[in-house]
Structure 1
């Protein structure tokens, strides 16, 4: 007969390594199988949602009905253009703006 666990493994070791002024690496272990991913997804969403920054969130291209359209004069289709547009990074020069 299998023994039923009452509580999963909880991390006993947590290390915080500061990489630079804006970056850090946090390592926690051990986790029960599958628990690290369960914890990582909401943590990632929390960090990304609370970070300050600017990025394009929508686009409207005249003459494109959907993202798989081809536009005359563009070297790439709309889907590739959108993927490249997501790579734009804006720099904040003044905190008051």
Structure 2
């Protein structure tokens, strides 16, 4: 993955897989997307924007009674997606959570 368009396409596919089968392997795909985005130097803000855009697209086709479950799944997926950024921040000198 090297572009925002690639991230959007891959994120949508992985998130839809996660909705269909909310298992650890589906969340792992979100984590791998985050790692790839970080390696491609895509900013955290762009990653979150893509996640939000994909969520809006999915919600347009979601029956009202399923919205809470989709929202919870989106939250879980986003946490996996940004985990690499969090770990990277913690390892960076001056980053929050850095050991004294």
TM-score normalized by the length of structure 2: 0.27
TM-score normalized by the length of structure 1: 0.27
Larger radius of gyration: 1
Question: Whose helix fraction is larger, Structure 1's or Structure 2's?
Answer: 2
